[in-house]
Amino acid sequence: MSKITDLTAKNPLEAQLVERLRNTLVGYLDTEQVTQCMRAYEFGASAHLGQFRKSGEPYICHPVAVAISLAEIRMDADGITAAILHDVVEDTKVSKQEIATQFNNEVAELVDGVTKLSKIENQSHAEAQAENVRKMLLAMAKDLRVIIVKLADRLHNMETLGMMLPPKKRRIARETLDIYAPIANRLGMNSIRHKLETLSFEAMYPWRFAVLNHAIKKARGNRRKIIDTIESTIKARLKAADFPCDVAGREKNIYSIYKKMEKKKIPLADVFDVYAFRIYCNDVDACYRILGMMHNLYKPIPGRFKDYIALPKENGYQSLHSVLLGPYGVPIEVQIRTHEMHRMSESGIAAHWLYKTDTDKNRNFQALANEWLKDLLEIQKSAGDSLEFIDNLKVDLFPQEVFVFTPKGSIVKLPRGSTIVDFAYAVHTDLGNACVSARIDKQLIPLQTPLESGVTVEIITAEHARPNPLWLNYVITTRARLAIRNRLKHIEGQEAKNLGQRLLENELVVMNIQLSQISDEKITTLLKVMGVKTLDKLLEDIGLGNKMPFLVAKQLTQNDVHTNIKLDDDTKSQNRPLMIKGTEGMVVTLAKCCRPIPGDAIIGFFNPGKGIVVHQHDCHNHAIIKKKQNNWLDVEWGTDTKVDFSTEIRIEILNERGSLATVAATISNLDSNIENVTVVDQDARVCVDSIILTVQNRVHLAKIMRRLKELSIVMKITRVKG
C-alpha cells in the first residue's frame, strides 16, 4: 500500500483515479484479484514513470481511467489488469514476455491484442492503421475482451482529445466513426456507441455540433408540455390495465439527428417533430399486449411497425417499434421491450460480465458475436492486404437487414439491397457458385433482383454453372464478393493453364516432339531460367499471354536450355493454327471492335495478363497487331463450335410504329437473341439502329440478314466490323 501511496502522492488526479478504481473493484472481485489489479497499477505506473499526456497529467492516468470504465461493467481481473497495462508494450521497454512472467499468459495475450504494431516499415499511415485494426480484430477472434478493452481505451481517448491539433482530432474522430462505433454497434454496446458518435461528431465538426446542440436544447424546452401530456396519457392507460411498466421519453443521439438531416436534406424541425417514448415491462408477452394498447390509444401509421423481438437485429437487439399518430397530429415513436432487453441493448456483449446471468439472451449475444468473428476470419483469409480487409470490414459493419426465407422456412438475414446472388452465397458458397436463376414466391426472377423482407427465395442451379464476373457489379455482401472473386481467380487460372498447354503442345508438334517426352530435368532447368516455380504456373503464364509459347518451345528443344532465344522472322515457328471453339472461358476473348464469328478469317493477339484476344483479319486494328510480331499468333475456328457468338448489324428501317418490334420478332424466330439495340440516327422518315445479336456462325448471320431484307420496312442492312 505504501508503494501505491508513493506513486500517487505527487498527483491528486492519479490518487483520485486509483482510489476510485480500488473501490469499484472491491465491490465485485475477491481480495486476491483486487491485489493483482493494484499490482498491475504499480507495474504500469513504474513503466510509464516520466511520461505525460499532452494535458500534463501522468500517462498512467489514462490506463487507470480505462480500467475504471471496465470495472463499472464488472470486467474480470485479467481484463482489468490488461487494461491497466495496455500501453506498456507499445510505449515503454516492457516486453510481452515480461508481462507473462509478472502476471500470466492470458494477460500478456490481451495486452498484445490491444497493442499497435510497433514498427510497420514502408507503409502509408492508412496502411499502418489498417494493419493495426486487422491485428486487433484477429486477436479479438481469440478473446472478446480485446475489443472491450480497446473500445474503453478509444472512449477515454475521445473524451480527452482537447489538447490535440484539429487535423489529428479529425483523423482520430473519422477512424472512430468508421471502425470503432460500428464495432460497438455490431456487438450490441449501444451506450458506448452513442458516446463515441457524439464525441467524434464534436471533434470533426465543432461548429456544427455547437449550433445543433444549442438548437436542440432550445427546441427541447418548447416540446416539454407535449411530452408530459403524452407520457401522462400512456402511464394512465397502462395503470388502468394494471401493467407495472416504466415509461421514459427517448431523445435521439445528436449524431443520429445530424445524419438524418444530412441524408434526407431536412431541417431540425422535421427531425425533431417525432416524440419518442420507451416502455419497459417484465416479459415478452406483456410487450405484445402493451403494443395492442398503444395501437388502441393512438392510431398506428401504416408501414411504420417493426418487430425486433421475433426477428432480432444482427447484433441481438430486441424491441417492438411502432410509430403512432398522437395528439395535436404529432407522430409518436414507441419502443416496447423488457427490462432485460433494455440492459442487453445498452451493454451488448459486455452484459456477460455486467450481469453474470446465464440467460438465453446472454448466450444469444455470445453466439452472435462468435458467429460474426468467424465471418471476420473468413474475410481476413480472402483479403489481399490490410486496406482491402478494412474496406470489406466497413461494408460488413453497416448492415440494414432484410429477412428472407428459404423454401424450407429458414430465415436468412441480409443487408438491405442484397440480391439473389447474395442470398445464394449466404446459404452456401457452393450454392452461389452454381446458381443460374431463382424463383421468388414461385415466380422466375433475374439474379440481380434486390430482395425484400418476407419473400421466399428458391435458387435454381446447374451442374456446370460458374460465377459471372458481372455479378460483382450488383452483389453487396462481403461474403458473396470474396467468394466470386476467389472462384473467378481459380477458374481463370485453370482455363489459362489448359490454354497454355494447348499452345505449347501446338508449337512442340511442329518440332516433332510431345510435352510428355521432355525430361523432368530439362523442364526443371527451364523453370529456373523462366523464373517460375512449377510447370502449371508456366503453362498458366503462357495461357495468360505473359510468356510466348513458341519461345518456351524453342528453349525446351534447345540442347542448352540456358540459351536466351530471341524471336525474329527466321526463328518464329511455322506452327499450325490454334483452334478456337468459343468455350475457352475468360482467357480467350472475342474483340468487340470487330466481333468475329465462326466463318470469319481471324488472328489471335496476346494481351499480357489476360490471354488471347481474337480479331477478324480485316479488322481496322489488324495493322497495329501485325506490327507487334512478338504478340500475335495464327488461330482458326474449330469445326465443333456449339456456342452462340455476338455480332453487330446496322439496319435502316422506316420510322413507323411497330417497325422495331417486327425486326425483333423476325430475329427471334430465326433462333437468335438480341443483346442490345442502340438508335444511331433518326428522323421523321427513317430510323438507323445498331443491333447486337447472337448467331452460331456466318451462315446463320447471312440467313438472318436475308430474311430481314425481305421485310418491306427494311431499307438497308450491313454487318458492322469495326
Q: What residues are labeled active site?
A: 90-91
Query: What is the rounded distance in angstroms from the CA atom of residue 101 to the CA atom of residue 380?
Result: 31
> Cβ(535)–Cβ(522) under 8 Å?
no
> Cβ(692)–Cβ(590) under 8 Å?
no
> Cβ(362)–Cβ(344) under 8 Å?
yes
Q: Quote the cell numbers at residue 51.
A: 511520461
Strand-by-strand arrangement of the 588-590 sheet = 578-580, 632-637, 602-607, 611-616, 588-590
> Cβ(636)–Cβ(580) under 8 Å?
yes
Which residues share a beta bridge with 650? 690, 718
Residues 6+ apart with CB under 8 A from 228: none
Query: What is the rounded distance in angstroms from the CA atom of residue 20 to the CA atom of residue 12?
Result: 12
Residue 219 burial (CB count, 10 A): 14
Query: What is the rounded distance in angstroms from the CA atom of residue 590 to the CA atom of residue 616?
Result: 9
Closest of 66, 110, 121, 118 to residue 92, by C-alpha: 118
Burial 382-405 (b: 16+ CB within 10 A, else e): bbeebbbbbebbeebbebebbebb
Residue 104 burial (CB count, 10 A): 14
DSSP reduced 3-state for 410: coil
Closest of 586, 576, 602, 485 to residue 544, by C-alpha: 586
Residues 6+ apart with CB under 8 A from 272: 216, 219, 223, 257
> Cβ(135)–Cβ(147) under 8 Å?
no
Residue showing cell 511455322:
574
